[in-house]
Structure 1
């Protein structure tokens, strides 16, 4: 397994991680716990050490699933979870954000219990609370490091300015944000540059565009009734058709290189810098193995340029989230 360093002073972890959200939530009705656990075990066999979850996935059930899967295998895992997004059980689509110090302290204890571990390797603030200064939230997170409950700190969907302020309170090891061929905002909003300057790892989630960049999605009607993507602007109407034409060009280039479209999309992300550690999500072993194989793909400057032209930063049609969810981002 290729490895990459989690920031200037952090440990080396697998160059590709595993996003675990879809094993429990958002993409389809129900879940196959047996296949999900088999996928997690296969990831460890392949050397994928970075597992990514959050307390809001399920909510809570994803952490419980991960805890079950890693029992007796803790030394093989670099375990990351997140806190800060609150879901209403009576209205699962409703969201609020809480970055208060008292909520920080309560959240970590719940995550450690569900995961069945004494220490979390990486703890992210899932969304920045606009009502709480970032210095207060990160200060409380730093106390968790002193208490031995957390080893490293991260932020998710935070702006470059917020990252700078947080980093002055306590070293931030990772910034997680959406980044892929069709979501290239971090190139323009300063986040990639800030990570390089500060020595922070950048962890792209949804590097396969929520599955769209694999080329496997051909019609919005194919989604399950409760699939979150049905309400995502990029997967609707004319936006879907426009984006599908772009993916077809990626598929054609992938065919020439004798790789899959998803592998090509992942190879592009990996080629953007060795401080990037993407976490493609899957709940099936066959897709996990395909994703890991992307680590062996070396793209030429010409191939990278071709992909960059197909999906230039303004090419994708539709916002990456609904207006309500976009309002929770600190960008």
Structure 2
């Protein structure tokens, strides 16, 4: 398997087409095994994965610390992407409030993430959620200063509207926009986000390209999810919506069977097939799933398969909204 390298934006950032989302390694989807998580990160490096995605709010802070420990001795082999401002956090991890984009909080968050990651620079730094109380120009003005200071290499924004992306990019050039994108979540195709990043020369990072695991076929009822699994709060994972969506998944599975593969590999191939400016960051906590993800990213799909998948799942057929009602920081 040879993972393709892709440019993320037009400012020089290059990463593996498939990255690794680490959120689940610190309890987001139920109990996690730290030793297995670290082994998974190390094996990802060995398989050619270079992009590793985390955030200060995952844990909080525990996820950044775990990634930092796993990359010890191999930091230069990795592109570390982390995020700030999804929630306002105290230094002890207490959640003090919602999204925070104030310049003073930005500066404090960078220093805190550098400490937890055990590094001297953050390769890609995202505003995790837009703070409606603070003009995005103020937030990215502060971030631009931190790029100049060498603490950050490249900038990104997550789950933002096209007009917010434009304003942030005008204040300090963006390399990446990160938003959920999969066969089951395609609103970026119609809400202007993909068109905007392509016009501005910004890369697109697709999180949850496996539909938070649903497109692998591993979640066929709400009952398989651990009590602490955050997916229990997502409408698509309640039993009624899951039952409706299984009919769509079965269409994908039939296409996969005809091609001698599985639905997860096809879903990743589909995401990467939407353009060379798209990078996908599926998450996994286990080495047993990692190789399949890398294989999906290393196996291009032909036009006929891409077309068949798009026709098999119409966005308006998917039951349930993609986000939790609690995720109020997403700009819609």
TM-score over 0.5 for the alignment?
yes
Q: Distance in 1 between matches of 2:285 and 2:150?
A: 31
User: Aligned to 2:232, what secondary structure does the other structure show?
Assistant: helix
How far, CA to CA, are the matches of 2:56 and 2:301 in structure 1?
Answer: 37
How far does residue 94 in structure 1 lie from its aligned partner after superposition?
A: 9.2
Aligned to 1:312: 314
1:140-192 C-alpha deviation (Å, 9 max, x unpaired): 11111011100000000011111111111111000000000000010011111
Aligned to 1:17: 19
- 1:276-315, aligned counterparts within 5 Å? 276-315=278-317
Give the TM-score normalised by the residue count of structure 2: 0.95
Partner residue of 2:177? 175
Q: Which residue of 1 aligns with 2:34?
A: 33
1:213 equivalent to 2:225? Answer no
Residue by residue over 1:80-137, the C-alpha shift from the partner in whole angstroms, topping out at 9 and shown as x without a partner, is 1000022679999996110000000000000000000001101000000000000000
C-alpha contact (below 8 Å) 1:59/1:87 kept by paired residues: no
Could you say what secondary structure the match of 1:81 adopts?
strand
Q: Using the TM superposition, give the Cα deviation of residue 313 of structure 1 relative to its aligned residue in structure 2, in angstroms.
A: 2.1
Distance in structure 2 (CA, Å) of the matches to 1:263 and 1:234: 21
Residue matched to 1:196: 198
Residue in structure 1 matched with residue 46 of structure 2 by the alignment: 45
Specify whether residues 175 and 181 from structure 1 end up closer, same or farther in structure 2 by C-alpha distance, changes over 3 A only. Answer: same
More displaced 10-residue stretch of structure 1: 266-275 or 2-11: 2-11
Please say if residues 145 and 152 of structure 1, whose CA atoms lie closer than 8 Å, have aligned partners that are also in contact.
yes
| SS across alignment from 1:63 | helix
Residues 178 and 233 (structure 1), Cα distance of their counterparts in 2 relative to 1, 3 Å cut: same
Deviation track 1:245-277 (CA, whole Å, cap 9, x = no partner) reads 111111111111111110000000000000000
Report the 3-state secondary structure (helix = DSSP H, G, I; strand = E; otherwise coil) of the residue aligned with 1:323: coil
Alpha-carbon contact 2:82-2:126 (below 8 Å) kept? yes
Give the distance between the partners of 2:49 and 2:307, measured in 1 at CA.
29
CA displacement, residues 3-48 of structure 1 (integer Å, 9 cap, x when unaligned): 00011122221111100000013101x3211100000000111110
Specify the alignment match of 2:83 in structure 1.
82
Question: Which residue number corresponds to residue 61 of structure 1?
Answer: 62
Q: How does 1:103-182 map to 2 (within 5 A)?
A: 103-182=105-184
Distance 1:95 1:233, change over 3 A: farther
1:298 aligned counterpart, secondary structure:
coil
The 3-state SS of whatever aligns with 1:9 is: coil
Q: State the SS of the aligned residue for 2:250.
A: helix
Counterparts of 1:225 and 1:2, CA distance in 2: 37
Give the Cα–Cα distance (whole angstroms) in 1 for the partners of residues 77 and 237 of structure 2. 37
TM-score in terms of structure 1 length: 0.96
* Ranges of 4+ aligned residues in structure 1 off by more than 3 Å: 87-95
The two structures, once aligned, show a CA RMSD in angstroms of: 1.7
Cα offset for 1:310?
A: 1.8
Q: How many residues align?
A: 329
The gaps in structure 1 that reach 5 residues or longer are: none
Q: Is the 8 A contact 1:85 1:95 kept in 2?
A: no
Structure 1: distance between partners of 2:205 and 2:50: 14
Q: Which runs of 5+ in 2 are unaligned?
A: none
